[in-house]
């Protein structure tokens, strides 16, 4: 259901946000939680791409999209909480719409930090965790239902807050509040190290 539900957003604002973010990826790049492969064709500036996806059904769809890639790609069925790579393996680590739904965001961010090379970049596109208290209250109220309907997604998680708690420094951050995204906003695009 993920691809049909997201199709409109992917053709519009979300696709543009992904393009802008992934143009920053360099060198050996890891994408955690690659899902069904919405980003595969957007990687054009990397030397090698490794995609992880823990859900077998999503990983199967991801593998079907591999022929469209323009860079060398490997797929690993692995969770962000336990990445099967040595320390300092990647120049860039990417997550798009991942931190909202992982079981342990702190563990994921610790793993991202571990596998990033010194001087590497963590690129993220995440949603939710509004700074507007009224919307934030609604996000917290809706979380229990939303999690069940949207594959574990939490509306109330704030990527900047989680990154700060994990010891990352955000070097740039763009905040977007598209009109038709209801309680999912804001969408935050940024770089951290």
pLDDT reported for residue 14: 83
Fold observed for domain 2-192? Rossmann fold (3.40.50)
pLDDT reported for residue 11: 64
Task: List the domain boundaries for the chain.
Answer: 2-192
Indicate whether this model's pTM tops 0.85.
yes
What are the C-alpha distances in Å from 91 to residues 34, 115, 118, 142? 17, 9, 8, 37
pLDDT reported for residue 148: 87
Beta-strand relationship, 27-31 and 46-52: parallel
pLDDT band at residue 6 using 50, 70 and 90 as cut-offs: low
pLDDT reported for residue 8: 47
């Amino acid at each position: 259901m993920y691809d049909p539900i997201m199709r409109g957003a992917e053709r519009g604002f979300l696709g543009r946000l992904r393009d802008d973010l992934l143009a920053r990826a360099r060198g050996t790049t890891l994408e955690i939680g690659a899902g069904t492969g919405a980003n595969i064709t957007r990687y054009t500036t990397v030397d090698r791409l490794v995609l992880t996806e823990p859900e077998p059904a999503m990983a199967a769809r991801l593998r079907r999209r591999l022929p469209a890639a323009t860079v060398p790609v490997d797929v690993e069925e692995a969770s962000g909480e336990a990445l099967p790579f040595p320390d300092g393996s990647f120049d860039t680590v990417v997550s798009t719409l991942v931190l909202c739904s992982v079981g342990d965001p702190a563990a994921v961010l610790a793993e991202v930090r571990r596998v990033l090379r010194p001087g590497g970049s963590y690129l993220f596109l995440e949603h939710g965790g509004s700074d507007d208290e009224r919307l934030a209250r609604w996000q917290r109220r809706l979380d229990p239902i939303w999690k069940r309907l949207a594959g574990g997604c939490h509306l109330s998680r704030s990527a900047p807050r989680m990154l700060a708690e994990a010891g990352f420094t955000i070097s740039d951050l763009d905040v977007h509040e598209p009109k038709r995204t209801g309680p999912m906003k804001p969408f935050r695009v940024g770089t951290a190290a």
